[in-house]
Amino acid sequence: MIFRSVATVFWFESRRALTASRLVWWGVLTLFPSLIVGMIRMAIADDPNQPGPEVWTVFLFALVPMLVSMLGTFLWATPVVSAELEGKSWVYLAVRPYGTIAVLLGKYLATIAWVLSSAIASLILAALIVPLDNVGGIFSTILPLTILSCPAYAAIYLLLGTLFPKRSMVIAVAYTLIFELIVSMIPALINTFTVQFRLRTLLFQWADIPIRGDTNVLLAFVGNPPAWEHVVVLVAFTLILLLVAIGVVREREFSASEEGNG
């Protein structure tokens, strides 16, 4: 029953996303990385010291799993609950069996599909512009990182939007700036609790970027565990956040002011 409801919400949200404004945003997210790569390529066209594969891999990592995945899921996953509250439809969902859960998961899956399609398309376009003979290795490194990043970031922003529906966007921006951009770069135990740390470590491992523990300062910003452990942590992290979000919408009674103001 709940699976059918989730599928129904997913297809409804996927069709509803085919509006002019959302298609424009999809296009902007998709084309932005290739635009940046193209500008970089033109700027260094006459430079005899051309960047190697490692440099371009880091560039694409910053543009796709970091920028497109993070920004896309921020825009679409964060306001999932607040949109229903503003539309005054939450009370009707709450009285239906698994109504709130179906909407939560259905919109979550629609967000992943929407953002992941943009991220993969942007990666393909940007990789085609990279001035290297063999970009297959770069693509095969960034693609799984993109696939891992979208569900993880979507789960984070979904939970934040569930916990703080009235200030969801503000809280999500604060989380991104403080944790994913600042805390993730702190060489301490706390950075292991960020998605960015796990993705960055996988980048260095899968791209075979050499890190010498005695001299390279980057060793403080990446982890030593094997790649599979980081993948398991990311998947478990995503599932736990989803379960917490489901628990919140099941147990929480949103006030009249939240439904009125969003």
Q: Which residue has the tokens 């069996």?
A: 97
pLDDT tens readout for residues 192-237:
899 999 999 999 899 987 765 543 445 556 667 789 999 999 999 9
HSE, side-chain direction, 13 A CA sphere, residue 209? 21
SS3 196: helix
Is 80 exceeded by the pLDDT of residue 23?
Answer: yes
More confident residue, 30 or 252: 30
Residue 214: per-residue pLDDT: 43
Whether residue 249 has pLDDT greater than 70: yes
Looking at residues 14-40, what average pLDDT do you find?
A: 93
Q: Residues 136-193: pLDDT tens digits?
A: 999 999 999 999 999 999 999 999 999 999 899 999 999 999 999 999 888 778 888 9
Whether the CB-CB separation of 142 and 61 falls below 8 Å is answered with yes
Residues for the chain: how many in total? 262
Span 71-100, average pLDDT: 81
Can you list the alpha helix ranges (DSSP code H) found in the chain? 2-16, 20-43, 53-61, 69-77, 80-86, 90-94, 99-129, 136-163, 168-175, 195-206, 227-251, 256-261
